[in-house]
Amino acid sequence: MSVESLASADVASAIAGQHGVNLSGLGQPSGAIQVPDVWLPDSSTWLLRLQNEASGFTPSKVTSVAQSPLVIAMPEPISKQLGLQGKKVSWTSLLGQIKGSDGGPRFGIVNPARDASGLAALMSIGSAIGAGQGSVSKLVDALTYLAKSRSELRDELLESFPKATDEGTLLESLGAAPLSEEDVISYNAKRPPVALSALYLEPNSVPMDYPYSVLPQVVDGQKISAAQGLLKQLTSTTFKNEISAQGLRAPDGTYGSSFLAPAGAPAASPAITAPAGGSGEQGGSAAAGLDATAVSKVVGSWNATTQAGRVLAVFDVSGSMNRPVPTANNASRADVTKAAATTGLSLFSDEWAVGVWRFSTDMGPNHRPWEELIKITSLRSNRKAVQDTIPRLTPKEKGDTGLYNTVLDAYNYAKANWKEGKVNSVILFTDGENDNVNGITQEQLLAQLKKVQDPKHFVRLVLIGIGNEVNKDELGAIQKSVRGSGLYFAPDPTKITDIFLQAIGSRTGVE
């Protein structure tokens, strides 16, 4: 048996590559990393992201063997100055600090697409902000500010903390960051010039839950037996004392005598919940009942706010988009979609470029089913012009659905306008199925899509079905023909924004 210490993000990338996909934010996997038989990542969120993206990824024996609660790491001189040393803090109070105001500590974060502590922090921030009036603006402000001091690696962030206690150094250095309790203990164990305080959160955030996972390729009886034997050792009382010396708690939240508890550390943090089904035989919900959809939405919010991307948004304006949505006080599908488009656009940073099309039938010369409302253009200089297209997404009375021609033309347009170093995407919203007597057939569409794809100029096609009249088989056939594409459904059109964020936070998927 051989054991190797590797970053969870690097192993997740290798597993995703084995299944022919990439996890958002991780890039291409390194060929130097071999997919293990047993994996012990720092968080179940990695399993959820892989299950959402990689078909066939179903780990077994998923069992938490340790935990470390999320804390706010803050240099001791700052925590004492603010009167926070040894005290609990809430995300609601912290959000007042996460705005870049003069005089407050500078917050940082490890890229949530690559780090479980950063991801857990974003989930907590979203919960604290809620879904009320002005919530999107508050979320964008928080993410934008955190992104200014983000690090790609945890060690890189830790190096940003102050190395001296003079006022100038404290002001210029990193003043706070969401990290695990174990990170703080390990950092302080090295006796740095300025130790870190661990501010415990109330309510508790999702902890690092260290899920022991036997990966799907393990079918050999001898390996399975060895994996079971190792798990038995890792869940023993003796192991609890061993991990305490490393700054980790047992899954039930308690710790052994060798644990160097930071000031204010609770004697026990909330116990880790069992995976879905409770048997530990299959991967399921992570700690605190998280699911893959929630995780993808958080990654999507981060990507939209911090990444540089190019997207062509294509909206169905066929006559059926006038139909009422009972869950939205009978507002039309079009009106609900417009509201979702407004919200989605507000999340995109100025680094994005966005174009907008609308489609039905006979919207242009020679029976062309689509119309360009604005070409792909920079939001930094043309945000208002893009916003002004949204009220024009009005359904065409008696208009049918020229889906096939629109998909092909939109894909070719995005490919022709492809830019290196950007996320190049087409996101198409539709509530029906192809109905266009003057258009191409499904066979012609699929053949053309397979022909025009270029791995060196990758364009991600995302299809979002709205309502309960979508032809899932039709959209599924399109999705399967384009490598790395995504297919999502919103039976309740009021959930379009959630689905949109999930799509932005994923690289592939059918939901």
Closest CA to 377 of 314, 303, 310, 305: 310
Instruction: Determine the average pLDDT of the residues in 328-339.
Output: 94
Same domain, 97 and 141: yes
pLDDT at 455: 87
Q: Does 349 score more than 90 pLDDT?
A: no
Same domain, 378 and 239: no
Contact 85, 73 (CB under 8 A): no
Closest CA to 39 of 70, 63, 68, 23: 63
- Domain CATH for 224: 3.40.190
Q: How far apart are CA 445 and CA 406, in angstroms?
A: 10
Tally the domains of the chain. Answer: 2
Same domain, 181 and 313: no
Q: Does 282 score more than 60 pLDDT?
A: no
More confident residue, 360 or 420: 360
Instruction: Determine the average pLDDT of the residues in 223-245.
Output: 93
Number of neighbouring beta carbons within 10 Å of residue 314: 28
Q: Does 157 score more than 70 pLDDT?
A: yes
The CA–CA distances, whole Å, from 154 to 123, 307, 487 equal 18, 19, 33
DSSP state of 423: E
Q: Residue 329: CB partners within 8 Å, gap ≥ 6? A: none
Name the band, by pLDDT with cuts 50, 70 and 90, for residue 511: very low
Same domain, 329 and 234: no
Mean pLDDT of the chain, nearest integer = 90
Instruction: Determine the average pLDDT of the residues in 157-162.
Output: 97
Residue 316 belongs to domain spanning: 307-510
Closest CA to 72 of 158, 153, 176, 209: 176
The string of pLDDT tens digits covering residues 199-222 is 999 999 999 999 999 998 887 888
pTM of the full structure:
0.81
Same domain, 337 and 467: yes
Domain-ending residue, one of 290, 323, 341: 290
Percentage of the chain lying above the pLDDT 70 cut: 94
Domain-ending residue, one of 233, 263, 290: 290
Does the N-terminal peptide bond of residue 203 adopt cis geometry, omega within 30 degrees of 0? Answer: yes
pLDDT at 125: 92
The tokens for 103 are 């005089």
343 within a domain of the structure (yes/no) = yes
Instruction: Determine the average pLDDT of the residues in 47-51.
Output: 92
pLDDT at 231: 94
pLDDT at 102: 55
**SS3 label, residue 410:** helix
35 within a domain of the structure (yes/no) = no
Q: How far apart are CA 89 and CA 124, in angstroms?
A: 13
- DSSP for 52-87, please give it: HHSTT---EEEEE--BB-EEEEEEHHHHHHTT-TT-
Q: Does 475 score more than 70 pLDDT?
A: yes
Ranges 63-67, 100-104, 404-408: which has the least confidence: 100-104
Helix axis angle, 333-347 relative to 292-306, nearest 10°?
60
180 within a domain of the structure (yes/no) = yes
Same domain, 346 and 281: no
Same domain, 397 and 482: yes
The tokens for 132 are 């009320």
The string of pLDDT tens digits covering residues 86-121 is 899 998 888 776 654 556 788 999 999 999 999 999
Measure the CA angle with vertex 71, ends 70 and 75; round to 5°: 150
225 within a domain of the structure (yes/no) = yes
Same domain, 473 and 362: yes
The tokens for 73 are 């790491």
The tokens for 375 are 């070409």
